[in-house]
């Protein structure tokens, strides 16, 4: 009988526990598989069609248990505190390159988050190479979906047994089980079919603690969705940390930068000491432009709005949101009246975490001056009708910016300083290093040019 043949194949492919042998025939009959269509296709093709037809049944096999105790041990490893504490390792870090040996090692970016779902409190700290890049304590009105899922749904899925083991693997040399703790079937308009979109967590086979996260579609990981979990736990409210250190908090920070051409002979006076340079040319690229750089950081007061002013601002943001409403529904003058009322309430408006703020005056710090040397080609500046020239960054180039103080956050990661004799190379082809007491940023068209320029830097003569 065809049921018996299929049963043998399924018993071999998905062995059932002792005492459950032979149950495949019942499962096949319950699935509605009948011999008549298989006989019409012939014995060989019919058997293959039968196996394919019950493939979905195998996924629902009642005796296909998870590996012993995985879900229970994973639950015990998470704990049951009300506050989620998680540390992620991201993929936006960089590489530290030893300029003498060429040895490379990663500089990891990490994000530490404390999340109290009851009080709706979030404390986020972003670090690069251990140095704080960003820190903020906030009270968002909308709970971050990823944190909400990790704090509640992961634990609930383990408690209810709805989580399931979908495979095994290795993460950074550590053997793991991959668990699905959240999934839903969603349509894809591209193929008009349903697909399973799931969130997966990898738990260590040794500690059963989470070590990685990823999003999948039909079991396949999505691009750039994987993150290393260095720590994931739930703790008591008393053990949680919702106090910002105040260091390197960049929320509400303003920034301005200006450049003006100078003669090469003026570079020392502008910098206050001898600059470093690459000579009159580097890698076939001539020194084409020397500029004085002026940067400043400031902090802008942000005052939360309440009452009618806040309601007006929210309605304004909603009306101006793309595709929020048709242009026919808007006032003929183009800008909704509610936006005009909101604009009169303060010096600009912004909305963050569901709250509306008006912006006060900017308090600027002392300007920082530096020197930038551009190696490459320059062309006419179209914005001044060809009266000036402009560096052509779309052509092969190297730009060396330097200052006695830390460079702007656009040129270098705040707080992080690579050791002498090495250069930090960020994704996208930029470098940052210390040389002879100067903070130096290198922008180049290729990473090879970044490295060759970092090695070739030397004090300017005179």
- Segment 18-35 mean pLDDT: 43
Check if the beta carbon of residue 227 is closer than 8 Å to that of residue 72.
Answer: no
Q: In this predicted model, which residue has the larger pLDDT, 207 or 29?
A: 207
Residue 395: other Cβ atoms inside 10 A: 12
> Which of 248, 364, 347 lies closest to 305 in space, CA to CA?
347
Q: How do residues 124-142 score in pLDDT, each as one tens digit?
A: 898 888 888 888 888 776 6
Does 279 have pLDDT greater than 90? yes
* Max CA pair span of the chain: 96
* DSSP-assigned letter for residue 42: -
More confidently predicted of 82 and 410: 82
Work out the average pLDDT over 259-267. 93
d(CA 362, CA 348): 12
Q: What local confidence, expressed as pLDDT, does residue 142 receive?
A: 66
Regarding pTM above 0.75, the answer is no
Distance CA 120, CA 108 (A): 29
Tokens read off for 190: 């591209």
Do 135 and 247 contact (CB within 8 A), yes or no?
Answer: yes
Nearest Cα neighbor of 115 from 123, 127, 103 is 123
Mean pLDDT for the chain? 76
Most confident among 267-276, 338-347, 383-392, 406-415 (mean pLDDT):
267-276
In angstroms, the CA 63 to CA 59 distance is: 10
Q: pLDDT tens across 237-257, in order?
A: 888 888 876 544 444 566 677
Position 438 scores a pLDDT of: 93
Highest mean pLDDT: which range of 22-31, 119-128, 274-283, 399-408: 274-283
Burial classification of residue 53, based on how many CB atoms lie within 10 Å of its CB (0-12 exposed, 13-18 middle, 19 or more buried):
middle
- 129 alpha-carbon distance from chain centroid: 16
The strand pairing partners of 350, in sequence order, are 357
Q: Does the pLDDT at position 360 exceed 60? A: yes
Task: Read off the pLDDT of residues 371-421 as tens digits, 9 standing for 90 and up.
Answer: 999 999 988 665 555 556 778 888 999 999 999 887 665 556 777 889 989
Nearest to 443 by CA among 379, 368, 391, 406: 391
Cα separation, 82 vs 360, in Å, equals 37
């Amino acid at each position: 009988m065809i049921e018996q043949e299929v049963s043998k194949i399924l018993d071999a492919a998905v062995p059932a526990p002792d005492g459950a042998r032979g149950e495949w025939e019942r499962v096949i009959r319950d699935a509605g598989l009948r011999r008549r269509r298989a006989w019409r296709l012939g014995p060989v093709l019919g058997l293959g069609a039968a196996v394919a037809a019950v493939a979905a049944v195998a996924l629902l096999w009642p005796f296909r248990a998870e590996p012993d105790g995985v879900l229970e041990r994973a639950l015990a490893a998470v704990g049951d505190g009300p506050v989620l504490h998680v540390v992620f390792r991201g993929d936006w870090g960089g590489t530290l390159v030893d300029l003498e040996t060429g040895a490379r090692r990663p500089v990891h970016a990490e994000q530490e988050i404390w999340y109290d779902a009851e009080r709706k409190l979030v404390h986020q700290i972003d670090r690069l190479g251990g140095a704080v890049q960003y820190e903020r304590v906030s009270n968002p009105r909308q709970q971050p979906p990823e944190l909400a899922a990790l704090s509640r749904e992961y634990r609930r899925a383990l408690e209810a047994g709805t989580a399931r083991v979908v495979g095994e693997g290795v993460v950074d040399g550590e053997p793991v089980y991959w668990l699905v703790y959240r999934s839903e079937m969603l349509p894809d308009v591209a193929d008009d079919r349903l697909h399973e979109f799931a969130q997966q967590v990898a738990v260590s086979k040794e500690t059963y603690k989470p070590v990685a996260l990823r999003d999948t579609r039909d079991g396949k990981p999505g691009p750039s969705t994987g993150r290393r979990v260095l720590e994931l736990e739930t703790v008591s409210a008393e053990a949680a940390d919702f106090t910002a250190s105040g260091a390197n908090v960049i929320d509400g920070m303003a920034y301005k930068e200006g450049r003006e051409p100078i003669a090469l002979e003026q570079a020392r006076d502008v910098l206050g000491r001898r600059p470093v340079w690459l000579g009159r040319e580097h890698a076939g690229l001539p020194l084409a432009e020397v500029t004085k750089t002026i940067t400043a950081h400031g902090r802008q007061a942000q005052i939360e709005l309440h009452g009618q002013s806040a309601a007006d601002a929210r309605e304004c943001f909603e009306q101006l949101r793309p595709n929020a409403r048709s242009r026919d529904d808007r006032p003929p003058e183009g800008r909704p009246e509610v936006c005009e009322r909101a604009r009169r309430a303060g010096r600009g408006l912004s909305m963050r975490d569901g709250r509306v703020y008006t912006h006060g005056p900017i308090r600027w710090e002392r300007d920082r001056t530096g020197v930038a040397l551009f190696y490459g080609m320059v062309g006419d500046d179209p914005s001044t009708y060809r009266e000036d020239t402009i560096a052509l960054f779309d052509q092969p180039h190297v730009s060396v910016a330097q200052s006695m103080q830390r460079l702007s956050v656009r040129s270098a990661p705040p707080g992080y300083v690579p050791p002498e004799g090495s250069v930090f190379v960020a994704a996208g082809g930029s470098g940052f290093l210390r040389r002879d007491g100067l903070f130096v940023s290198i922008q180049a068209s290729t990473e090879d040019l970044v490295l060759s320029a970092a090695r070739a830097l030397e004090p300017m003569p005179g």
